[in-house]
C-alpha cells in the first residue's frame, strides 16, 4: 500500500467510516493468583478503633511488601463496613494487579481479598511471557475461542463469526503491528510514544486508519507529545497528546504486572499503563516497557449486549465536562412512560408518573445541576443563580439526548422540552407491521431513558451505591466520592444497530450509555424502550464501580469476572421486573422484545424449573456458554433460584424502594425493614429486598477479578454481617441445588481457556 500523507491520515479520522455492526474489543491478560478469605483469624481491636488502624495492624502481620491505602476507600453507610483498598508497591512502583481489599467493622477484619505478588522484588522478567500474540495462539487452539473476544454475535452465525472475530482481534492487528515494527527506526527511544502508537495500531477498528498509522509510523510518532504531571491521586504520570484515534489525552504511568512463567511461577514485568478513550472503547492497556510493541494485558471498560449482525458505521463520541461547586432544588416533573417494572411496550400501557425522585438520593430533583458543575454549552436554564433548573432531560444524574449521527457532539443534540411545568408527555403512535421512523418519537424515547436511568440511580442509592461508593452524579453535594460523572445517555445512537453498550471509567469521569435501533421487527424497535436491556447496561456501571473500589474500573474486564458482570446485569433487571410487574412470573428473559424472539438474548428463560432452564455450574463446560454472556446466564440463573428460595422464607415486597426519608433525616421502618436495633444497620425484611441488598453488598466484599466461587461466598458473607448469618443454610442449599456447593471445582482456566467445571452439591454440616 502506498503511504498516505499526514493530511490524508487526518482526514480518515474526521470522516465517518463504514465497517462492522459489532464493536472491535480487545480484552485479555493474566489473572494473578487471587483468594477471598471469609472469617479470617485476626487480632481484635477495640470496636472504636479507626478502620484504617485496624487494616494497618492486620497488614503489618500479614505481608512484608510495601503498599499504600487508596484514597477511594470508604465506609458503607448501609452496612457500617469500611472497605479498605490496598495497592502493592515494589521498588517504588505500583503492582497494578497487586490488590488487597479489607472489609472492616467494629475493630474486626470481616473478610478480605488478596492478589499481592509473593515473589522476590528481584523477580523481574525482562521479556513479557504473556502477550497479544500468545493470547491469540491460545485462541487458535480452543474450540469456539472467538466467543472469548467479546465480539457479540448470534449463535446461528458461529462459524463465520469465529473466523471474523479472530481476524479482527488477532490476525489483522498482529500483522499491522509487525508492519509498523519494520518502519520503526528507533528501537530504543520514546518508549511511551511508541507504546501508545503500537496499541492504537492494534486496537483501532478501521483497517484504512491502521494501515496508515503503520506505514507512516515515524511521522505519526513525531506528532505525538508527552508531558509530565501529577494525577488526581498525586502519582507521577504522563499525558500523551496527539495520538490519532484517541478522543482525549492518554494517561500513562509505569507499573508492574504479574505474569506467569513457563515454569509455572509468577514474575513481575514493567509495563506502561495507558488509559485510552476512543470512539467505541475506553481501554486500560498495559504495554511492555522493554518491548513497547507488545500488549501484555488489556481491559475494555465498555460492555455490550449480544447483537445480531447488521452493517453500521463507526463514529466518535466525546464528553468534556466542567467542574465546580454543589447544586440545588428543582421541582418534580411528570412523565408519560412505561412505568418502573413494565419491561417494554408489549408488557403494559404508558401512564403519567410524577413525584418520583427520592429525597435522599436526588435531594434537588432530577432537573437541577449546580452552575459550577454544569457542562459548557448546556441547554438553557430557568433559574439564574447558583442553582440551574432545566426544563429538558438534563440533570445531576444523567444527560439524555438523541444521537442520530452517532457522533461526538452530544451536548448540542436534541432533547424533549417539558416547559416550566416539566410536563413530558409525547406520542408513540407505533403499530405492528406499519413502518414508522423512530425519529418521529425520539422525544418519547429520550424521556423514557431519562426516567429509567434516574429511577435506577435513586433505587440503588438506597442500597449503597451512593456518592462515596462511586455512583454517577455531576455534583456529589459534598457527600464523598468524585463529582463530574453524570451518565451521558444516548438514544437512537446512529453508530450501530442491534446492540447496547455502557462504558465505565473510574470515579469522576462521565460514563457513556448508548442505546440503538433494532431492525428485528416492522416497525423498527428502539432499545431505550426495553427497560430490562437498559437496566442490564446501567448495572454494568454499578458493578464496575463497586467491585474493587470506585477508582478501579478494570476488575470485571474479561473471563469469568467479566461474565459475573453480565450475570448481575440480567439478575437485577429480572428482580426489578418480577417485583413490580409480574409477581408470579417464573419464566422471564432479557431482550425478547427488542430482539423480537421468544428467548431474547438467552438460551432458555430464567426459571426455577430445571426442565425449562437446566443450567448448573457444569453448564459452563458447554461450548455455547464459554464466553462472557454464557457465564453471565449461568450466574444469573443461579441467583434467580436463590432469590425464589429467599422469597419462600421471607415473602415478597411489592416494591424494592425503601420508604422516603423524613424531614429530620431518619428513615421510617414501615413494612419495609425489620425492627431497628441500636448500632446495627437496617435490614430489609422481605426476600426480594434483602436479596438486592445482599447482591449489592457482595460486590463491595469480593476481590478484584472475582470468580463465581468468590461471588457466591461474598453473598453468604454479606448475609452473615447483615443478619448474623440466619440465611446460611438457605443460601448454601439454593447454591448447591445448581451445582455450586462447597465441593464444586474448577480445574485449569486462563485468559483463553475457561477450564473444566465440576458440580458440587455439598453443604455445611450444620445444614445437613
Query: Could you give the residue numbers annotated as active site?
Result: 537
* Nearest residue to 181 (alpha-carbon basis) of 150, 149, 221, 152: 221
Residue 111 in 3-state DSSP? strand
Provide the greatest CA pair distance for the chain: 76
Distance of CA 68 to the CA centre of its chain: 25
Q: By the 8 A CB rule, do 456 and 535 touch?
A: yes
C-alpha cell at 143: 474450540
**Which H/E stretch holds residue 405?**
none
How many Å apart are CA 180 and CA 202, to the nearest integer?
10
Question: Beta strand 295-300 with 525-526: parallel, antiparallel or unpaired?
Answer: unpaired
Instruction: Look up cell 444469573; give the residue.
Output: 636
Angle at 174 between CA 169 and CA 179, to 5 degrees: 140
How many Å apart are CA 312 and CA 668, to the nearest integer?
51
Produce one character per residue of 400-422: b if its CB has 16 or more CB atoms within 10 Å, e if not: bbbbbebbeebbebbbbebeeeb
Q: By the 8 A CB rule, do 362 and 396 touch?
A: yes
Find residue 606's DSSP bridge partners: 588
Instruction: Look up cell 422484545; give the residue.
Output: 593
Instruction: Look up cell 458461529; give the residue.
Output: 158
Find residue 102's DSSP bridge partners: 84, 112
Angle at 571 between CA 569 and CA 575, to 5 degrees: 125
Which residues, including other chains, have CB under 8 Å from residue 637's CB and lie 6 or more apart?
606, 613, 615, 738
* Nearest residue to 588 (alpha-carbon basis) of 538, 525, 535, 523: 535
Binning the chain into helix, strand and coil, the percentages to the nearest 5 are 30, 20, 50
Q: What is the DSSP string of 568-629?
A: HHHHHHHHHHHHHT-TT---B-SSHHHHTSTTTTSSS-B-S-TTT----GGGGGSGGGSSHH
Q: What is the DSSP string of 284-302?
A: EEEEESSSTT-EEEEEESE
Q: Crossing angle of helices 207-215/191-203, nearest 10°? A: 150
324 to each of 28, 412, 505, how far by Cα in Å?
37, 21, 20
Amino acid at each position: 500500500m502506498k503511504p498516505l500523507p499526514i493530511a490524508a491520515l487526518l482526514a480518515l479520522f474526521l470522516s465517518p467510516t463504514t465497517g462492522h455492526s459489532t464493536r472491535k474489543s480487545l480484552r485479555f491478560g493474566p489473572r494473578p493468583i487471587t483468594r477471598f478469605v471469609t472469617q479470617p483469624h485476626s487480632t481484635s481491636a477495640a470496636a472504636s478503633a479507626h478502620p484504617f488502624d485496624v487494616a494497618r495492624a492486620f497488614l503489618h502481620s500479614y505481608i512484608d511488601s510495601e503498599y499504600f491505602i487508596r484514597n477511594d476507600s470508604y465506609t458503607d453507610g448501609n452496612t457500617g463496613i469500611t472497605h479498605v483498598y490496598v495497592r502493592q508497591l515494589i521498588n517504588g512502583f505500583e503492582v497494578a494487579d497487586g490488590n488487597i481489599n479489607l472489609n472492616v467493622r467494629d475493630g474486626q477484619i470481616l473478610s478480605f481479598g488478596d492478589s499481592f505478588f509473593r515473589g522476590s522484588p528481584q523477580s523481574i522478567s525482562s521479556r513479557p511471557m504473556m502477550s497479544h500474540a500468545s493470547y491469540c495462539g491460545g485462541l487458535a487452539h480452543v474450540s469456539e475461542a472467538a466467543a472469548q473476544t467479546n465480539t457479540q454475535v448470534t449463535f446461528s452465525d458461529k462459524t463465520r463469526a469465529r473466523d471474523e472475530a479472530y481476524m479482527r482481534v488477532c490476525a489483522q492487528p498482529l500483522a499491522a503491528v509487525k508492519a509498523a515494527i519494520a518502519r520503526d527506526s528507533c528501537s530504543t527511544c520514546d518508549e511511551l510514544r511508541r507504546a501508545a502508537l503500537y496499541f492504537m495500531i492494534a486496537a483501532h477498528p478501521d483497517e484504512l486508519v491502521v494501515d496508515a498509522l503503520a506505514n507512516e509510523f515515524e511521522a505519526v510518532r513525531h506528532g505525538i507529545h508527552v508531558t509530565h504531571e501529577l494525577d488526581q491521586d498525586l502519582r507521577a504520570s504522563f499525558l500523551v497528546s496527539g495520538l490519532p484515534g484517541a478522543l482525549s489525552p492518554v494517561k500513562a504511568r509505569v507499573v508492574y504486572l504479574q505474569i506467569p512463567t513457563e515454569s509455572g511461577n509468577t514474575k513481575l514485568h514493567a509495563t506502561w499503563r495507558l488509559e485510552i478513550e476512543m470512539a467505541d472503547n475506553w481501554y486500560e492497556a498495559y504495554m511492555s516497557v522493554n518491548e513497547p510493541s507488545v500488549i501484555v494485558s488489556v481491559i475494555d471498560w465498555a460492555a455490550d449486549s449480544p447483537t445480531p449482525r447488521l452493517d453500521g458505521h463507526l463514529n466518535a463520541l466525546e464528553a468534556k465536562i466542567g467542574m465546580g461547586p454543589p447544586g440545588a432544588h428543582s421541582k418534580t416533573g411528570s412523565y408519560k412512560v412505561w412505568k418502573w417494572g413494565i419491561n417494554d411496550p408489549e408488557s403494559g400501557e404508558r401512564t403519567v408518573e410524577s413525584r418520583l425522585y427520592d429525597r435522599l438520593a436526588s435531594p434537588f430533583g432530577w432537573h437541577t445541576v449546580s452552575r459550577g458543575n454544569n457542562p459548557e454549552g448546556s441547554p438553557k436554564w430557568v433559574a439564574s443563580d447558583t442553582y440551574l433548573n432545566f426544563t429538558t432531560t438534563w440533570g445531576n444524574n444523567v444527560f439524555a439526548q438523541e444521537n442520530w449521527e452517532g457522533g461526538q457532539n452530544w451536548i448540542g443534540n436534541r432533547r424533549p422540552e417539558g416547559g416550566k411545568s416539566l410536563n413530558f408527555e409525547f406520542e408513540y403512535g407505533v403499530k405492528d407491521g406499519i413502518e414508522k421512523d423512530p425519529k418521529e418519537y425520539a422525544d418519547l424515547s429520550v424521556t423514557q431513558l431519562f426516567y429509567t436511568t434516574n429511577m435506577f440511580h435513586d433505587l440503588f442509592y438506597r442500597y449503597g451505591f451512593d456518592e462515596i461508593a462511586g455512583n454517577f452524579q455531576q455534583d456529589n453535594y459534598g457527600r464523598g466520592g468524585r463529582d463530574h460523572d453524570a451518565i451521558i445517555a444516548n438514544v437512537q445512537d446512529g453508530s450501530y444497530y442491534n446492540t447496547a453498550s455502557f462504558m465505565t471509567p473510574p470515579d469522576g469521569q462521565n460514563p457513556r450509555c448508548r442505546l440503538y435501533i433494532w431492525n428485528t421487527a416492522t416497525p423498527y424497535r428502539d432499545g431505550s424502550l426495553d427497560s430490562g436491556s437498559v437496566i442490564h447496561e446501567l448495572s454494568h456501571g454499578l458493578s464496575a464501580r463497586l467491585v474493587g473500589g470506585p477508582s478501579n474500573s478494570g476488575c470485571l474486564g474479561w473471563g469469568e469476572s467479566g461474565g459475573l458482570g453480565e450475570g448481575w446485569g440480567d439478575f437485577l433487571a429480572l428482580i426489578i421486573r418480577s417485583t413490580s410487574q409480574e409477581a408470579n412470573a417464573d419464566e422471564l428473559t432479557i431482550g425478547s422484545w427488542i430482539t423480537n424472539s421468544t428467548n431474547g438474548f438467552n438460551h432458555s428463560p430464567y426459571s426455577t424449573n430445571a426442565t425449562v432452564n437446566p443450567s448448573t455450574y457444569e453448564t459452563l463446560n458447554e461450548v455455547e456458554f464459554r464466553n462472557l454472556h454464557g457465564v453471565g446466564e449461568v450466574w444469573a440463573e443461579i441467583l434467580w433460584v436463590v432469590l425464589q428460595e429467599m422469597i419462600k422464607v421471607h415473602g415478597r415486597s411489592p416494591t424494592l424502594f425503601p420508604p422516603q426519608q423524613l424531614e429530620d433525616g431518619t428513615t421510617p421502618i414501615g413494612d419495609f425493614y425489620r425492627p431497628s436495633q441500636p448500632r446495627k444497620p437496617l435490614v430489609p425484611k422481605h426476600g426480594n429486598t434483602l436479596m438486592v441488598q445482599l447482591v449489592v453488598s457482595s460486590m463491595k466484599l469480593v476481590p478484584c477479578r472475582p470468580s463465581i466461587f468468590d461471588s457466591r461466598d461474598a453473598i453468604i458473607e454479606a448475609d452473615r454481617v447483615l443478619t448474623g448469618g440466619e440465611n446460611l443454610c438457605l443460601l448454601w442449599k439454593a447454591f448447591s441445588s445448581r451445582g455450586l456447593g462447597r465441593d464444586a471445582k474448577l480445574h485449569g482456566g486462563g485468559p483463553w481457556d475457561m477450564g473444566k467445571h465440576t458440580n458440587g452439591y455439598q453443604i455445611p454440616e450444620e445444614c445437613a
